[in-house]
Chain A
Amino acid sequence: SQQGEEDPQALSIQEGENATMNCSYKTSINNLQWYRQNSGRGLVHLILIRSNEREKHSGRLRVTLDTSKKSSSLLITASRAADTASYFCATLEKLVFGKGTKLTVNP
């Protein structure tokens, strides 16, 4: 069964806006990772956040983790058309990926 569940399933925004995607998981974890998948391609690692971290930044990406709620969020600021892709959270202790959020950034 899927442990990571992203929300929303699809998101459409205008270039320059911020995009927020959420992920919920079921069991205790030591860390959580986010990946990106361009259409028809393999997944590419974006960022890892450990269970003792609450927030982490990487360029225009901001990830938060709330272990009490078993949830994480990925924020992409000042989105660009090139950010159009599907985004997945993953708990790699369990080798489980969520179903993904499909983000469309309109120019």
Chain B
Amino acid sequence: NAGVTQTPKFQVLKTGQSMTLQCAQDMNHNSMYWYRQDPGMGLRLIYYSASEGTTDKGEVPNGYNVSRLNKREFSLRLESAAPSQTSVYFCASRPFGTSTDTQYFGPGTRLTVL
């Protein structure tokens, strides 16, 4: 199993450009998550999908949209990138979305917005 995969690994955007970060998991997990990690800030939840067909806002959803395309895939879209969105983005999944589940993380996408 590949686990959680993310593409791309690195991306540089200009202010105002749009892009979609892709995430896929092959573990048949129900729940998927998008986090951003900034220096000294830990991980902050952007959006999550408790199950296929549902999405919910996390702590910092402004400027982002998500799509749970199917059970495997959960994408994050930046419609008009801003320098404040420069960060490392992590996708994660967990089997049932309960608090005792382990979260499995992807390797991250390092995004720079100029």
Using a CB–CB distance below 8 Å, which chain A residues touch chain B?
1-2, 4, 9, 29-31, 33, 35, 40-45, 48, 50, 88, 90-93, 95-100
A33 CA to B103 CA in the complex, in Å? 10
Q: Report which of B4, B45, B90 forms a contact with A95, defined as CB distance below 8 A.
A: B45
Quick check: A42 and B58 within 8 Å, CB to CB?
A: no
One digit per residue, 1 when the CB lies within 8 angstroms of any chain A CB and 0 when it does not, for chain B 24-66 equals: 0000000001010000111111001000000000110000000
* B35 contacts across to A, CB distance below 8 A: 97
* A91 contacts across to B, CB distance below 8 A: 99
Quick check: B4 and A42 within 8 Å, CB to CB?
A: yes
Q: List 14 A-B contacts (CB under 8 A).
A: A1-B59, A2-B42, A40-B108, A42-B90, A42-B107, A43-B92, A45-B104, A88-B43, A91-B99, A92-B101, A92-B103, A97-B42, A98-B42, A99-B40
A92 CA to B50 CA in the complex, in Å? 13
* A45 contacts across to B, CB distance below 8 A: 102-104
Q: Which residue of A lies closest to B108 (CB)?
A: A42
Q: Which residue of A lies closest to B90 (CB)?
A: A42
* B100 CB within 8 Å of chain A: yes
Using a CB–CB distance below 8 Å, which chain B residues touch chain A?
4, 33, 35, 40-45, 48, 58-59, 90, 92, 94, 99-108
* A97 contacts across to B, CB distance below 8 A: 35, 42-43
Cβ of B58 to closest chain A Cβ, rounded Å: 7
Quick check: A43 and B99 within 8 Å, CB to CB?
A: no
A97 CA to B59 CA in the complex, in Å? 11
Q: Which residue of B lies closest to A45 (CB)?
A: B102
